[in-house]
Amino acid sequence: MALETYKQKRHFDTTPEPRPHLGKAHRRPIFVVQEHHASRLHYDFRLEADGVLKSWAVPKQPSLNPALKRLAVQVEDHPLEYANFSGEIPAGQYGAGLVHIWDKGTYENMLARKPHPQSIAEGIHAGHLEVQLHGRKLKGNFALIRMTGRAHKASWLLIKMQDAEARPNPVAAESTTTAATPQPVRPRLAVPHARAASQPPATLAFTHQDKVMFPEVGITKGEILRFYERIAPRLLPHLRDRPMTVERFPEGLTGTEAPHFWQKNIPAYYPAWIPRATLPTEDGQLVTYALVNDTATLLYLVNQNTLTFHPWLSRIQHLDQPDFVIFDLDPGAATFADAVVVAKQLHAILEDEKVASYLKTSGKTGLHIVVPWRRAEGYDAARDWAMDMALRVVAALPDGATVERHKDRRQQKVYVDVLQNARGHHAVPPYVLRAVPQATVSTPLTWTELTSTLEPRRYNLRTIFRRLARQKTDPAASLLAF
């Protein structure tokens, strides 16, 4: 029973891994850490309990430094025999790649000695374990603490506790680790901000600056680099500490067939000074996102032919809580003037609710209305609230607005999209360039600028700075004022 998932994932006529038998308990329970060169190198941390190995995948090498909190994603129980397994899981099989034993030894369950003793199973259920490891590399007390977030029950932190075995000053190689983690539940731990392993270089080398990226308007990569450098003071506050997906166009907007890809996971060759955060996806895969916290990172990614940055709606300090809600008005088969009418209606409803909002062009065909989300509740509550507001717009403008998800059922109505208000989704921030032939920029507007003659293409890479120079206040600043 306990090994059902383990069994289902594997073909035992192909993989050399042990078959799913319950094992006989050792006199002293054992732990093992296996270095696993799967599609992504990780360390499998396993503790013997109840005849199986309770298991966590740890993307970074476990450490004796209490300051280095390691993300540990709980995975399926493994058979006890797995503690002796090293070898190659063949290509095409689950977890394909080399496995070797990185550390092994016995352990003690520290919570079994407490006034209210807890077994390992009880500790896992409660989201808190403390074990004393007697390995060759890992020694002394370690805590495993489950992080908050309903959707991410599998995410834990593996932390070296302070004791005689702790090595607070890691060797140089270890100090290159970044720690970026959502907030754990208990005990309350100070979670460090994500930081880069080293300082960015004083100067960056940019390549192919003459390459034409927007052929219709003749904009080169050099011009895009200068745009992003100049817009950085406005843009960076909207990007800081948010896991980032970037939209890269290696050949620019060369026709409809332009090579184009969305990148979440950063490539291994990116320099160590790029700040990053490793997070589990819904299915337990780990993704290392860049955090665009400084101009050097911004420009490094632009030099990689990034045209648009798409940050999360939450920051790494509280990944389950968005700090804004976005209403994406997509005209579809309707006109831009129709979207203006819908935006005005939504604005009136928000004013009625005494909720501050700001407006911006999406940079493509629509409008974005953004509301700071200051409540303690997370994404589900934010999206539900946004849907309530959207439904009020639809009630007021039944022929003009819709929340219908299916494009072909929207008729000539403007789609009020609130579904991007979800963990792991991203939004277009103010002041980014969009990958459209006119090189438009998603531009914050005042509500008085929202008229039926509004022409979003007027706001583009070549006009934006003139506008900003005239502006006394930034309409998007309210989003940052908390």
In the list 17, 44, 76, 328, the residue contacting Mn ion (rule: CB under 5 A) is 44
Q: How does DSSP assign 153-217, residue by residue?
A: TTEEEEEEPSSTT--SS--GGGGG-----PPBSSS--PPPPP--SSPPPSS-----TT-EEETTT
Shortest distance (Å) from residue 96 CB to Mn ion: 10
Q: How does DSSP assign 380-418, residue by residue?
A: HHHHHHHHHHHHHHHHH-TTTEE--SSGGG-TTPEEEE-
Shortest distance (Å) from residue 10 CB to Mn ion: 12
77 binds Mn ion (CB under 5 A): no
The span of 43-51, 58-66, 85-93, 229-237 binding Mn ion (CB under 5 A) equals 43-51
Q: Own/partner pairs for 18-27, CB < 8 Å, 24+ apart?
A: 18/79, 18/81, 18/82, 18/84, 18/85, 19/79, 20/79, 21/79, 21/81, 22/51, 22/52, 22/79, 22/80, 23/48, 23/51, 23/52, 23/79, 23/80, 23/81, 24/51, 24/80, 25/51, 26/80, 26/106
- Of 72 and 390, nearer to Mn ion (C-beta) is 72
Q: What is the chain's Cα-based Rg?
A: 26
Using a 10 angstrom Cβ sphere, with 0-12 exposed, 13-18 middle and 19 or more buried, the burial of residue 300 is buried
Site residues for Mn ion, window 8-37 (CB under 5 A)? 36
The span of 40-48, 64-72, 143-151, 457-465 binding Mn ion (CB under 5 A) equals 40-48
Shortest distance (Å) from residue 457 CB to Mn ion: 50
Cross-strand partners of 277:
289
The span of 42-50, 130-138, 215-223, 417-425 binding Mn ion (CB under 5 A) equals 42-50
Number of residues forming the site for Mn ion (CB under 5 A): 2
Shortest distance (Å) from residue 14 CB to Mn ion: 17
- Of 36 and 383, nearer to Mn ion (C-beta) is 36
- Of 34 and 345, nearer to Mn ion (C-beta) is 34
The span of 38-46, 271-279, 282-290, 333-341 binding Mn ion (CB under 5 A) equals 38-46
Shortest distance (Å) from residue 7 CB to Mn ion: 16
The span of 41-49, 316-324, 403-411, 468-476 binding Mn ion (CB under 5 A) equals 41-49
Residue number closest to Mn ion, CB atom: 36
Shortest distance (Å) from residue 130 CB to Mn ion: 24
- Of 60 and 128, nearer to Mn ion (C-beta) is 60
Binding site for Mn ion (CB under 5 A): 36, 44
